Amino acid sequence: MDIFGSYALLLAFAFALYAIVGGIAAIITRRPLLIKSARNAGFAVCALIWIGTASLWYLFFTDNFSMAYVAAHSNRSLSPYYKFSALWSGQEGSLLFWSFLLSIYVFSVLFTYRGKHPELMPYVGVVMAGVQIFFLTMNNFVASPFGVFAGQGSGGILHLVTRSDGSGLNPLLQYPEMAIHPPTLYSGYTGFTIPFAFALAALLGRYPGEKWIHLTRRWTMIAWCFQSAGILLGAHWAYAVLGWGGYWGWDPVENASLMPWLTGTAFLHSVMMQEKRGMMRVWNVWLVFITFMLCMLGTSLTRSGAVNSVHAFAESNIGHWFWSFLLLILLVCLAAYFKNRDYLRSDNQLDSMLSRESSFLFNNLILLVACVAVLAGTLFPVLSEAVRGSKISVGPPFFNRVNIPIAMFLLFLTGVGPLLAWRKTSTESLKKNFGLPLVGGVIVAVIALALGLRDFYVTLCVLLSGFVTLTILSEFYRGARVISARTGANIFASAGQLTMRNTRRYGGYVVHFGMVLIFIGICGQAFNQDKQMDMTTGSVLTLGQYRLHLQNYDSTQAPNYTAERATIDVEKNGRSVMMLYPTRRFYPSNQESGTMVAIASTLREDLYVVYAGTNPDTNLPVIHAYLNPLVKWIWLGGVVVVLGTILALLPNRQAAMVLSPAATQAPIPVPGSTQPAHVSFSARSQLPAGAGSTWSPPEK
Amino acid sequence: MTSRRRIALISTVFVAIASALVPLHIDAQRSDRAKSLGTKLMCMCGCGQILTQCNHINCPSSGPMLKELDAHVAKGEADDLIIQDFVQEYGEKVLSAPPTSGFNAIAWYIPGIAFVIGLGIVVALIRMWRQRDVARVATAVGPSAPAHDVLSEVHNVQLDRARQQADRDTED
């Protein structure tokens, strides 16, 4: 099966080469047969990558320890669940998994647009195959997951060596989210290949108009959604497994995932200016290019070992391959831009400073500055070492201090943007729209101050969260009220109807609300408390309103590890409310330890208890307890963001016209029927003049 | 119920929910001096975590470093002196954020410089695009046109664009 997988990947490489050469020939000759042939080669590449990936999974499930990769990342006692996820637990497998996810996107694009857009798709196919070639080069020649253990026999002949058992999976990776977080995040990274391919293809082929934007809008949103969910899942994983009481440590790998998310978010906003006004063509193309390059840069940073990261399992010497690919992409993008930049010329005009367009410009500015700040902080240790010869650390204090003001400005713009109209907003409408949300935000902030909040940024965040939430609610309310007045439906049903008529706009508002929840959750960090104590049986640790009684500590045996476990009775206001079992595991196969944190989570706060090991001086178990307020709001916000994006991905429901009450009083008689006809119009063009139409909100 | 009342009602409900959920024990225990100083230092085991947050089981660095920090605090040494001691012992890498002086201060300036440059570009773009709008109208009307004609033409151009926009909004 190892040979089978290797051959599949080699064949995929050969077909990918053909897809590029054939695609370029098809572009030059415009022969339909060549176009079809290059496309079919693209399909074959995808199918072969799937076969290669399936082979590796098979090797994991059959405990084939003659394979170096399987032996390094699995063992016999590993549960099937983790054998499945072990595929992407190391360098070689994760690169193959990257190819696998990319091939799903490529297949979907080739299949969805087969026979459509003949001027654009050959270019798209070539760009996608180009990206696939790079990863297949890695999979075949640089970091193959199908390497075997070989030994020299008596006659000098090499033969396969099979180990009796493998080293097992890194304990930090033996957590249920291992099966969800990497695939989700990688789906985000690889997904940005599609808008990149379309943007570069449109530029190379001088494809007219904004069509490529319409074609890639949903793909970009899908990639963005995966990236958002992947980042939050990673944060949750860090929170539940690493046991330091936090969820975001500004580690280079975390930063690497955040940077394309920031530019991707900027793109999702600025692209509306191109769709609506034909503006920002150059900017949008470069935003897509930069987003894709940041996906590659992040991977280069973490896999090259250039920066220190807790994700040390990903470090290797393959970084220069990524740097070279990154340089190549940059050169291709620059060449395409300078050759065809006249194609991107747009008639940018702005009617007023107070307009949706301006707010998007500032939104892009802030997101890009945030990205630059994160990039600067991540790369600065490397720069400092190159210039001064000594490495410095750039840790959370730097990132928090720089990014918190930026985040506040962004939150402010999240509230302001929807209140501004395209082209121009009058001062009167500004006052009218701003008044209540702003007053509401101030009231919330005053209450927070009255409750004792004294941190400036937390108070500001509370104020802005109130402001943004009320802005969103008022947007829904105003639209729903008009529909309610026309149809007689209640306000909630009308809000539902309104949302389904313009899913992109109102889905976007739901995403904004999700971000507000995340911001509120992050604010809770300002009130974190923690206490660490060496505990004997019966001793008590008091933290906030909680009293933690250590009842006993024991050890258990599982097939893959041994565990030391503390049993803690938690009292709140003098009443026993729950039992918690923080655990420390020891994995003999790789001689590593890991923590399983016990978390009691409510909307108000998380009681987070870590069994931190045994104090060698006292030989007593060390319990570290944290009280982290509002953390659940972050995960809840993440769910809302994903749901909002899914909503925005849905097609708009066509508005059915309902006659006004005056009109319905005179039903139209239908010959031969005792019932009056129910009249509805599905197309706006059919609206009779003056008959009253459903209210349709302007596109966001 | 008027719309303002409804919005006021919604605001009140939101405020009530938010105030119910905001934790009341905000006069929580304050970090002691060692804890606060610990956030300015990195654990030197290579985990990339802040000293007080490194929880690696059997970490060879964080335990001794924390003990050292506690000892400094117990002696009543000044914060700057304690940090300086750590820098001398472990190098600048022990600091959790770049120093604000010398070459490393550049790290602090980069986001600000990026913001100022970006803001300059945005403002310049807005001004340029606004001028382009005015120039387009002026070209359409001609140089000798009276002021009211220019205004009327501005109105026409804007109406024209509004129509185009409406067309675009209502297309599939």
This prediction has a pTM of: 0.85
* Nearest-10 Cα torsion for A311, A317, A321, A324: 90
Section A190-219 average pLDDT: 91
Task: Please report the pLDDT score of residue A223 as a whole number.
Answer: 97
* Set of chain A residues whose Cβ sits within 8 Å of the Cβ of B50: 395-397
Q: What percent of chain A has pLDDT over 90?
A: 56
Candidate ranges A188-192, A488-492, A535-539; pick with highest mean pLDDT: A188-192
Section A621-634 average pLDDT: 93
**CB < 8 Å from A in window 5-34 of B:** 6-8, 10-11, 14-15, 18-19, 21-29
Q: Which residue has the higher pLDDT, A592 or A12?
A: A12
Chain-chain contact of A393 with B93 (C-beta, under 8 angstroms)? yes
How many angstroms separate the CA atoms of B52 and B35, rounded? 7
Q: What percent of chain A has pLDDT over 70?
A: 91
Task: Please report the pLDDT score of residue A658 as a whole number.
Answer: 47
Give the CA radius of gyration of chain B: 31
Residue whose token pair is 């209640």? A490
pLDDT of residue A664 exceeding 60, the answer is no
How many angstroms separate the CA atoms of A152 and A254, rounded? 43
Å between B122 CA and nearest CA of chain A: 7
| Kind and range of the H or E run holding A664 | helix A661-664
- State whether residue A532 is helix, strand or coil: strand
Task: Please report the pLDDT score of residue A692 as a whole number.
Answer: 34
pLDDT of residue A539 exceeding 60, the answer is yes
Å between A444 CA and nearest CA of chain B: 6
pLDDT of residue A158 exceeding 60, the answer is yes
- In this prediction, residue A655 has a pLDDT band, given cuts at 50, 70 and 90, of low
Chain-chain contact of A443 with B115 (C-beta, under 8 angstroms)? no
Chain-chain contact of B28 with A529 (C-beta, under 8 angstroms)? yes
A434 close to B (CB below 8 A) = no
Task: Please report the pLDDT score of residue B31 as a whole number.
Answer: 46
Give Cβ neighbours of residue A468 (< 8 Å, ≥ 6 apart).
A411, A414, A415, A437, A441, A512, A513, A516
- Do B95 and A392 meet the contact criterion of CB atoms below 8 Å apart? yes
Task: Please report the pLDDT score of residue A679 as a whole number.
Answer: 37
* Backbone dihedral region for residue A77 (phi beyond 0: left; psi -120 to 50: alpha; all else: beta): alpha
How many angstroms separate the CA atoms of B105 and A587, rounded? 44
Å between B77 CA and nearest CA of chain A: 23
Q: How many inter-chain contacts (A to B, CB under 8 Å) are there?
A: 209
Q: Which residue has the higher pLDDT, A634 or A253?
A: A634
* Set of chain B residues whose Cβ sits within 8 Å of the Cβ of A278: none
Task: Please report the pLDDT score of residue A676 as a whole number.
Answer: 40
* Set of chain A residues whose Cβ sits within 8 Å of the Cβ of B42: 393, 395
Section A21-38 average pLDDT: 93
pLDDT of residue A312 exceeding 60, the answer is no
For testing the chain A interface, which of B2, B5, B21, B133 should be mutated: the one with the most A CBs within 10 Å? B21
pLDDT of residue A42 exceeding 80, the answer is yes
Section A396-420 average pLDDT: 91
A249 close to B (CB below 8 A) = yes
* CATH no., domain B33-104: 1.10.8
pLDDT of residue A350 exceeding 90, the answer is no
- In this prediction, residue A329 has a pLDDT band, given cuts at 50, 70 and 90, of very high
Å between B85 CA and nearest CA of chain A: 16
Closest residue, chain A, to B104 (C-alpha) = A384
What would the pLDDT profile of A498-527 be if each residue is shown by its tens digit? 999 999 999 999 999 999 999 999 999 888
Give the CA radius of gyration of chain A: 29
Section A600-621 average pLDDT: 88
| Kind and range of the H or E run holding A548 | strand A546-557
Task: Please report the pLDDT score of residue B11 as a whole number.
Answer: 54
DSSP assignment of A362-386: HHHHHHHHHHHHHHHHHHHHHHHHH
How many angstroms separate the CA atoms of A583 and A562, rounded? 10
Q: Which residue has the higher pLDDT, A272 or B153?
A: A272
- Do A477 and A498 meet the contact criterion of CB atoms below 8 Å apart? no
Cβ neighbours, 10 Å, residue A579: 13
**DSSP strand pairing (A150-152 vs A546-557):** unpaired
Chain-chain contact of A401 with B94 (C-beta, under 8 angstroms)? no
In this prediction, the residues of chain B whose per-residue pLDDT falls under 70 are 1-32, 56-58, 133-172
What would the pLDDT profile of A678-698 be if each residue is shown by its tens digit? 433 333 333 333 333 333 344
Task: Please report the pLDDT score of residue A206 as a whole number.
Answer: 87
What would the pLDDT profile of A571-603 be if each residue is shown by its tens digit? 998 899 999 999 988 888 777 778 889 999 999
ipTM of predicted assembly, 2 dp: 0.79
Tokens of A214: 């319409």
Chain-chain contact of A394 with B97 (C-beta, under 8 angstroms)? yes
pLDDT of residue A198 exceeding 90, the answer is yes
What would the pLDDT profile of A234-264 be if each residue is shown by its tens digit? 999 989 888 888 899 898 889 999 999 999 9
Chain-chain contact of A473 with B130 (C-beta, under 8 angstroms)? no
Q: Which residue has the higher pLDDT, A222 or A215?
A: A222
* Set of chain B residues whose Cβ sits within 8 Å of the Cβ of A401: 97
Å between B96 CA and nearest CA of chain A: 5
Q: How far is CA A580 from the centre of its chain?
A: 32
Domain boundaries, chain A: 1-147, 170-409, 410-523+635-650, 526-634, 654-700
What strand order describes the sheet that includes A605-614? A529-534, A621-629, A605-614, A598-601
Task: Please report the pLDDT score of residue A621 as a whole number.
Answer: 86
Please provide residue A547's backbone torsions phi and psi, each rounded to the nearest 5 degrees.
-120, 120
Closest residue, chain B, to A698 (C-alpha) = B169
Section A39-49 average pLDDT: 97
* Set of chain B residues whose Cβ sits within 8 Å of the Cβ of A245: 53
How many angstroms separate the CA atoms of A325 and A395, rounded? 29
Candidate ranges A47-61, A404-418, A437-451; pick with highest mean pLDDT: A47-61
How many angstroms separate the CA atoms of A179 and A169, rounded? 13
**CB < 8 Å from B in window 26-65 of A:** none
Task: Please report the pLDDT score of residue A69 as a whole number.
Answer: 93
Task: Please report the pLDDT score of residue A95 as a whole number.
Answer: 93
Q: Which of A183, A309, A177 is nearest to A237 (CA)?
A: A177
**CB < 8 Å from A in window 112-141 of B:** 114-115, 118-119, 121-122, 125-126, 128-130, 132-133, 136
Task: Please report the pLDDT score of residue A326 as a whole number.
Answer: 94
What would the pLDDT profile of A359-381 be if each residue is shown by its tens digit? 899 999 999 999 999 999 999 98
Chain-chain contact of A390 with B11 (C-beta, under 8 angstroms)? no
| Kind and range of the H or E run holding A33 | helix A32-61
For testing the chain B interface, which of A311, A364, A393 should be mutated: the one with the most B CBs within 10 Å? A393
Facing A444 at nearest CB: one of B15, B46, B94: B15
